[in-house]
Amino acid sequence: MNTVDKCDTMENLYPLGIVMIKSSRISVFLAVTMIAASLGAEALPPLPDRSGGGEMVDRFEYSSAASLQKAWRSVSGTSPATISFSGGRKILRLPCNFRGTEISRACWDFDTALDMTASTAIQFKLFSPDTSPVSHFTFYLRSGSGWYAAPFDHSPGSAWSTVTIEKDSMESEGAPAGWSRIDRIRIAAWRGESRDTTLYLADLETLGGKADIVIIRGDAAVGHDKKMAKPIAQFARTVAQQLKHFGISHAFLSDQDVTRERLKGKKLVILPYNPTVTDDVLSALEHFINNGGKLLCFYMLPERLGPLVGIRRGTHMKQSYPGQFASIRPTKGNVLGLPVLTGQSSWNIYKAQPVEGKSSVVGEWYDVNGEATGEPALIASKNCIVMTHVFIDDDPLNKQDLLLAMTGNFIPECWLQAAKYSIAEASTFGPYDSSEDASARISKLPGCRSHTRDLLNSARSLLDQARKHLSAERFAEARTAAGKVRLKLIEAHCSAQSSAGSETRAFWCHSAFGIDGLSWDAAIKLLADNGFNAIMPNMLWGGVAYYPSEVLPTAPEVETRGDQVAACAAACRKYGVECHVWKVNWNMGWKTDPQFLKKMADHDRVQVHFNGTVSERWLCPSHPQNQKLEIDAMLEVARKYDVAGIHFDYIRYPGNDYCFCKGCRSRFEKALGRKIAEWPSEVRNDGALTTKWQDFRRSNITRVVSSVSSLARQQNPDIKISAAVFPNWQTDRDNVAQDWKLWCEKRYLDFVCPMDYTPSNAQFENRVKRQKEWAGKVPVYPGIGLSTWSRAGNVCKLIDQILITRRHRMGGFTVFEYGASEAQAVVPLCGIGITGR
C-alpha cells in the first residue's frame, strides 16, 4: 500500500494469461461488427481528427499489400499487416493470430530513421473491438544495439483511444545509442488467450519536436555534481508538466544535445534550472537570441547572455527570515495576465537586476505576512523574462496562469491555444467525451435528482460563457469559466450515483497521524459523514510503533503528539467507523531508530539477497525471534485497544531473491534433513529442491498469520483479522511467498484486500473476479489505487471501480489512501452519491 508495495505491484500489472472482461457495451458493439463483417465490411468507429502539432512517422501510403508488408514486417509467425480505411484515411490493420498458433506475441517491425532528440513523446490512435485475448502491449524503439520500451494500455471500448508514450516513461533494454538514432519501431501484443483479435492503428506521430517552445534541461551540471541530477530533472519536469496542463506543446532538449540547428525556428527557449551552461550552449543561445529568439530563464541568468537581453545576472540571496519569499505579485509593467498573487515558498533567490531603459521589475516578492519585500521576483525586457527562483509546483492553478502569462508575453498564440484547450478539456472526464454527451448521459443515471439537473444547467451556461469569452478573445476569462464547467460536470456525475445497502467502505491511511491539518476526530467524522465505515491506519512497522509499546521501539513523536492508536480508535468508536490497525510486517520502516536497525543487523536478523547484499531494513521471516516480534506486536495492539481488527501488510518476502541469510540456510537445511552443498545456487538449479525452498518460505510467512489469527481470537473472539495482499495469488505465492488463498481456506483471515492498483477498469474487473474465486467464502474488499493514478483524485474512476465491486457482489472495497487531497477533493464527492447515506 505504500510506495514500495506499489512498485512491486507494478510487476504484476500485466500477468500472463489474463482474461479481460467484455462490458455489455462491447458485446453490443461486437454484434454490430459481426454483422458488418458478414457483409464483407469492417464497422470501425469514426476516427477522430488529428489534433495536429505532431510529425507523422508513416502515412501508410502503400501501393500494394506486398509493399506494406515489406515496410511493416510481421515477426516470427505473426499474420501480416494490411491497410484499412476510416473516414477516407488509411490506417493499419494488425491481426493477432493467437488461435491455433504458439506465438507468444503478435509483433510488427517498421524500419525508420527518426531523430527524437527534441521530441517529448510518440503517439498513435488505437482501436480494437476486443482486447481480451491480449495480456498486455509493449511499444519499442530501437537505437543502436538497444531498445527503449514502454507498456501501454488500451481499454476495450467502442471508440478509438489515443496512446501517448512519453520518452520519460520508456525504459532502456540493452544499450540504446540515444534518441537521435531511432531506426526501428516495434509494436507487440502479448498472448493472453488462444483467440484471435485485431488492432487498428492510425496517426502514428512524434510530438514536440517542431514546437515553438523548447525547454533545455541543464544536464551539464550533473557532470560536476551527481547530486544535481534530481533537482535539475525535477524543475525541468515541473515546467514541462505545467505547459502540458494548458495544452502548449514543447520540445525538450538536454543541454548536451543543444545545437544552433536544433534551436532554429524556435520562438522561445526556457532555462528551468541550468547551474552550468557550457560555452557551446551559450554560443547557440547567443545565435538564437540575435536572430529574434526569446528567453525565459529561472533562477540564474547565464552571465554572458545579460547584455543581449538587457538584464543583469545578480547574486545569490538567502532568505533572511523564514517566509520572506512567500508569494509573487505583479508590479508595474506590461506583462499581461500575471495572477494577482501566486504562492511560491522559496528559500532563496538569485537576485537579478533590471538595466535602465532596457528592462524593469514586473513582479515582486511578498513575505508570509503579506508585506512587500522590495526584492525582484520577475524582471522583463523585450526579449527575456527572468524569474529569480526556480519554478516550484505549489499553488498549481496560479502557477499555470503565471507560466501562461510569461510564455504568452512572447508567443501571444499561447493564450488562444490554452483557452481552446481548457474548453475542450472541460467536459472530457470519466466516460464522457463532450459536454453534450456528459449532460445527456448523466441525466439518465438512476441517481439523477433536481440538484444534478441544476448542476448540469449551470455547467451549460458556464460553457456558453466560456465560448463567448473565447470568440471575444478574452482568453483568461474563457479559461476560468471552462475550469468551472469541469467542476460542475464532475459534481453532477458524482451526485447522480446511487449508494448501496450494506457494504464495507474502507480507506487505508498511510500516516499514523492521519490527515495533515485535521485531528483524528475530524478526519474520522469526515469519513463517517460521507458514508465510509472502516479505516486501516498504519500504526506500526517491523521496527517502530506509534503508541507506547512494550514490544517495539516507540516513535519519539508519541511523546509530544500522544498515543495515535488510542486517538484514532476513540474517534472511530464515536462515529461508528471500524478501526483495523494496519501493521507493516518485516519491513522495519524509514523512521526506525538506527540503534534498533544496528542491533538487528548485528544479530543476523535481517534479510540477505541472493547476490549476498544485506537488506538492512527487512527482518528475516525465518528467524524465530523475528516471527515472535511480529506476532507479539500485533497481539499487543489487539489486547490493549478496543479496535475492530488488525490488518497485515507486507506479509510476504520483498521478492524472489530473498532471503539467503546464514540463518535461512541452516533452518532450511534442518527442515530438509540434509546439508546443501552449493548455497545458494542449488536452491535454484534443482527443481525438486526449489519447490521445497518455496514451501519453506511460505511456511515462515503463514506461521505468523496463523499464530496471530488464533491467539488474537483467543483474546477477543470478535476481532477481525485481515490482510493487504498482492493481486495475483497464482504467481505471488512463489515470488513473494504470500499464500493468501490458503489463509482464506483455513479461515485465518476474516477478509482480504488485494491491492488492485490499476487505472484500467477492465483489468481491475478481471482481477476482482479471479480473487473472488481464490478467497472462496472469505470476503474480498478489493484495494482501489486512487492515489496511485496519474491524475490523482480521479473520483470518476474511483466510482467506476466501486461499481465493479458491486457488480461482482464483493460486499466492500478498500481505497488507497486517505490523505489531505483525498479528504478535501474526493471523500465529499463520494458522499453526495456513491457512498451517500
Which residues of the shown chain bind Zn ion in the complex (CB under 5 A)? 620, 659, 661, 664
Assess contact for 748 and 774: CB atoms under 8 A: no
Q: Judged by CB, which is closer to Zn ion: 549, or 622?
A: 622
Minimum CB distance to Zn ion, residue 794 (Å) = 40
Order of all β-strands in the sheet with 182-191: 72-74, 105-114, 182-191, 134-143, 146-152, 171-173
Minimum CB distance to Zn ion, residue 540 (Å) = 22
Assess contact for 781 and 506: CB atoms under 8 A: yes
Minimum CB distance to Zn ion, residue 622 (Å) = 5
In the Cβ-directed half-sphere of 574, how many Cα atoms lie within 13 Å?
Answer: 15
Minimum CB distance to Zn ion, residue 30 (Å) = 52
Minimum CB distance to Zn ion, residue 709 (Å) = 23
Minimum CB distance to Zn ion, residue 445 (Å) = 54
Partners of 214 in the β-ladder: 251, 269
Which grid coordinates are listed for 152?
Answer: 501501454
User: Which amino acid is it at 271?
Assistant: L
Q: Judged by CB, which is closer to Zn ion: 268, or 661?
A: 661
Which grid coordinates are listed for 497?
Answer: 450515483
Minimum CB distance to Zn ion, residue 737 (Å) = 12
Three-state secondary structure string covering 520-535: HHHHHHHHHHCCCCEE
Minimum CB distance to Zn ion, residue 244 (Å) = 46
User: Which amino acid is it at 612?
Assistant: G
Q: Judged by CB, which is closer to Zn ion: 575, or 610?
A: 610
Minimum CB distance to Zn ion, residue 588 (Å) = 14
Cis? peptide before 107, omega within 30° of 0: no
Distance in angstroms (rounded) separating the CA atoms of residues 111 and 72: 8
Distance in angstroms (rounded) separating the CA atoms of residues 238 and 618: 34
Q: How many C-beta neighbours within 10 Å does residue 559 have?
A: 9
Which grid coordinates are listed for 320?
Answer: 533572511
Minimum CB distance to Zn ion, residue 664 (Å) = 3
Scanning 608-661, the segments in alpha helix (DSSP H) are 624-640
User: Which amino acid is it at 444?
Assistant: K
Q: Judged by CB, which is closer to Zn ion: 387, or 620?
A: 620
Assess contact for 191 and 61: CB atoms under 8 A: no
Which grid coordinates are listed for 114?
Answer: 527518426
Cis? peptide before 817, omega within 30° of 0: yes
Q: Judged by CB, which is closer to Zn ion: 399, or 665?
A: 665
Q: Judged by CB, which is closer to Zn ion: 696, or 789?
A: 696
Q: Judged by CB, which is closer to Zn ion: 201, or 661?
A: 661
Q: Nearest-CA neighbor of 777 among 753, 755, 751?
A: 751
The per-residue DSSP string of 724-761 comes to EE-S-HHHHHHHS---HHHHHHTT--SEEEEEE--S-H
Q: Nearest-CA neighbor of 269 among 245, 287, 244?
A: 287
User: Which amino acid is it at 832?
Assistant: I
Minimum CB distance to Zn ion, residue 746 (Å) = 25
Q: Judged by CB, which is closer to Zn ion: 558, or 664?
A: 664
Q: Judged by CB, which is closer to Zn ion: 216, or 664?
A: 664
Q: Judged by CB, which is closer to Zn ion: 173, or 678?
A: 678
Which grid coordinates are listed for 129?
Answer: 473491438
Q: Judged by CB, which is closer to Zn ion: 420, or 667?
A: 667
Which grid coordinates are listed for 352?
Answer: 537579478
Separation in Å, CA 627 to CA 119, 352, 614, 654? 52, 60, 19, 16
Q: Judged by CB, which is closer to Zn ion: 284, or 664?
A: 664
Provide the 3-class DSSP secondary structure of residue 649: strand
Q: Across 286-354, where does the E strand assignment appear?
A: 294-298, 311-318, 325-330, 342-346, 348-354
Q: Judged by CB, which is closer to Zn ion: 243, or 661?
A: 661
Separation in Å, CA 391 to CA 35, 305, 372, 410? 56, 20, 20, 18
Minimum CB distance to Zn ion, residue 669 (Å) = 13
Q: Nearest-CA neighbor of 455 among 483, 493, 419?
A: 493
Minimum CB distance to Zn ion, residue 596 (Å) = 18
Scanning 55-99, the segments in alpha helix (DSSP H) are 65-71
Distance in angstroms (rounded) separating the CA atoms of residues 479 and 555: 47
Separation in Å, CA 28 to CA 34, 47, 52, 328, 431? 10, 19, 32, 55, 17
Minimum CB distance to Zn ion, residue 541 (Å) = 18
Q: Judged by CB, which is closer to Zn ion: 475, or 618?
A: 618
Minimum CB distance to Zn ion, residue 654 (Å) = 11
Q: Judged by CB, which is closer to Zn ion: 379, or 664?
A: 664
Minimum CB distance to Zn ion, residue 542 (Å) = 14
Minimum CB distance to Zn ion, residue 665 (Å) = 8
Cis? peptide before 680, omega within 30° of 0: yes
Q: Judged by CB, which is closer to Zn ion: 485, or 588?
A: 588
Q: Judged by CB, which is closer to Zn ion: 482, or 664?
A: 664
Separation in Å, CA 175 to CA 106, 110, 150, 257, 633? 24, 20, 15, 18, 47
Assess contact for 87 and 47: CB atoms under 8 A: yes
755 CB-near residues (< 8 Å, 6+ apart): 1, 5, 6, 9, 724, 725, 726, 727, 783, 785, 816
